[in-house]
Chains A and B, each alone.
Chain A
Amino acid sequence: MEKGTYRVKTGFAEMFKGGVIMDVTTPEQARIAEEAGAVAVMALERVPADIRAQGGVARMADPKKIKEIMDAVSIPVMAKCRIGHIAEARILEALGVDFVDESEVLTPADPFNHIDKWQFRVPFVCGCRDLGEAARRIAEGAAMIRTKGEAGTGNVIEAVRHMRILNDQIRRLRDMSRAELVSYAKELGAPVEVLELIQEQGRLPVVNFAAGGIATPADAALMRMLGADGVFVGSGIFKSQNPEKRARAIVLACTHYDDPELLAEVSEDLGEPMAGIEIDKIPQEELMQYR
């Protein structure tokens, strides 16, 4: 009997497919998410929109808060640690969190490296903006990838940008010769072996969700149409007027993304969505995706 193998980690991520992972900050919100049909919750101190608004250093949530959320629901609980913060990741693993998100939404802790995720029994999900970033995270042991988007904006354009770029790069990779692949690896800053694996499979070797700016059922459906295996919704649910109804609608939209009539039905009368931000109104240094 072997625990924490790569197959156990990536296999777990496969179970999320077609589903919605929701950011929650209280046990009550976690229960609402579970009842709406979320496949997992992300336990946080503050949702990205509040992190963005309040500024300052954003860190791992208080373990007490995470434990309360773990006790409140039967579905898996994820939590975020800062990029490169090995100690926060160890704490989350010790708490028994089901997945660690090494996340750009928190303030990075290491200016040079991400965490060596092979050293952990708990699986990790990491963000990416393109194939190079995805391949580096996979080389470090990430068991799941999510496109970054721009968290806390309620604006889907960056999520779409990252998914489009990723798709385009994978498409180009598919037809490359060995020599071209090596040169492409250099251009992307990506390990050759991971690119070879992606070329062989024609897609990322791990589950890929979309994140960052998804606020409506239509946004979730759009990301699925572009090939995302599922979606993370951060501020989009609990910063909206009617979280229960919106959460349920996003869950349905994520599954039935190619059924426009159903999308029309579930999009109806959801109340006010979260307020959105235009990306070019955000100062460059406040964009989370470049972390």
Chain B
Amino acid sequence: MKIGVLAVQGDVREHLSALERLGASPLPVLKPEHLAGLSGIVLPGGESTAIWRLMQANGLAGALKAELEGGLPAFGTCAGMVLLAKEITNWPERFLAVLDIAVERNATGRQVESFETVLPVDGLGEVPAVFIRAPLVRRVGEGVEVLARWQGNPVLVRQGPFLAASFHPELVEDARLHSFFLEMCRKG
């Protein structure tokens, strides 16, 4: 199963290696033509503004949005969640805008406030979670399932083919969330 990892900027290598460990065939996505034949795509952590500028420069932004609107499964972590969100409460732009949530960028504060913890995830049990200048979900639309919360805020959500986490499952050994996403891709 070919799974893309958006590779213009961010912690791409960590996602590629998590997917490889699970037996998928991950491919870095830098250009629109790299989207062909994918069963799913991961949007990594990084800086959402930088990733978006880079995606706009070569048409990848529009091409990926079209794929997502056509139902291509996507898993966004941290910046990836911001890219997927339909609304950003503290930023004038919207990016791919396919997942019906409102996020606040950098909602956990500056880097000195970044932290790691363990989260109970619906159906998976306790999962280690690293939050880095993380976005938090301030509103979820209809049909958005909240799979985990931190201090009452949704931090892992799913709507149809889209999965998004405020934290970084790619920074820990535990690959259950990647595995969960691969299962979503398998089912199409």
A interface residues (Cβ-Cβ under 8 A, vs B): 1-5, 7-8, 11-12, 14-19, 34-40, 70, 74-76, 93, 96-99, 121-123, 248, 251-252, 255-256, 262
Contacts and interface: CB of A to CB of B under 8 A. Distances in A.
A4 B130 CA distance: 11
Nearest to A78: B111
A99 B53 CA distance: 23
Given A19-B9, A98-B133, A12 B114 contact: yes
A229 B69 CA distance: 32
Contacts of B9: 17-19, 39, 255
Interface in B119-136: 130, 132-133
B171 A11 contact: yes
19 contacts: A1-B116, A7-B130, A7-B171, A14-B13, A15-B11, A16-B47, A17-B9, A17-B10, A17-B13, A17-B46, A18-B46, A19-B9, A19-B50, A37-B53, A39-B50, A74-B90, A98-B112, A98-B133, A123-B111
Contacts of A36: 53
Contacts of A97: 110
Interface string B23-54: 00000001000000000000001110110011
Interface in B40-76: 45-47, 49-50, 53-54, 57-58
Contacts of A34: 49
Most chain B CB within a 10 A radius of its CB, from A2, A16, A17? A17
Given A8-B130, A8-B132, A12-B132, A19 B46 contact: yes
Nearest to A38: B50
Most chain A CB within a 10 A radius of its CB, from B7, B90, B114? B114
Contact of A74 (B14, B106, B114, B130): B106
A5 B79 CA distance: 21
A1 B117 contact: yes
A34 B91 CA distance: 13
Nearest to B151: A1
The 4 A-B pairs with the shortest beta carbon distances in the complex, nearest first, are: A37-B53, A98-B111, A18-B9, A14-B11
Nearest to B52: A37
Interface residues of B, number: 38
Given A2-B115, A40-B47, A251-B50, A18 B10 contact: yes
Given A7-B171, A11-B130, A11-B171, A93 B112 contact: yes
A251 B54 CA distance: 8
A251 B113 CA distance: 28
Q: Is the interface of B mostly helix, strand, loop or mixed?
A: loop
Nearest to B7: A18
A88 B28 CA distance: 40
Contact of B47 (A5, A15, A93, A248): A15
Contacts of A256: 30, 58
Contacts of A4: 112, 114-115
Nearest to B171: A11
B165 interface: no
Given A18-B7, A255-B54, A8 B46 contact: no
A232 to B, nearest CB: 14
A252 B58 CA distance: 10
A239 to B, nearest CB: 22
A19 B52 CA distance: 12
B91 A74 contact: yes
Given A75-B49, A98-B110, A262-B58, 10 more contacts: A7-B130, A8-B115, A12-B111, A15-B78, A17-B10, A18-B12, A37-B53, A70-B110, A74-B49, A97-B110
Contacts of A251: 50, 53-54
B102 interface: no
Contacts of A19: 9-10, 46-47, 50
B8 interface: yes
Contact of A12 (B12, B49, B117, B133): B133
B168 interface: yes
A221 to B, nearest CB: 14
Contact of B113 (A3, A15, A123): A3
Most chain B CB within a 10 A radius of its CB, from A248, A251, A262? A251
Contacts of A17: 9-13, 46
Contacts of B117: 1-2
Nearest to A262: B58
Contacts of A37: 49-50, 53-54
Nearest to B172: A7
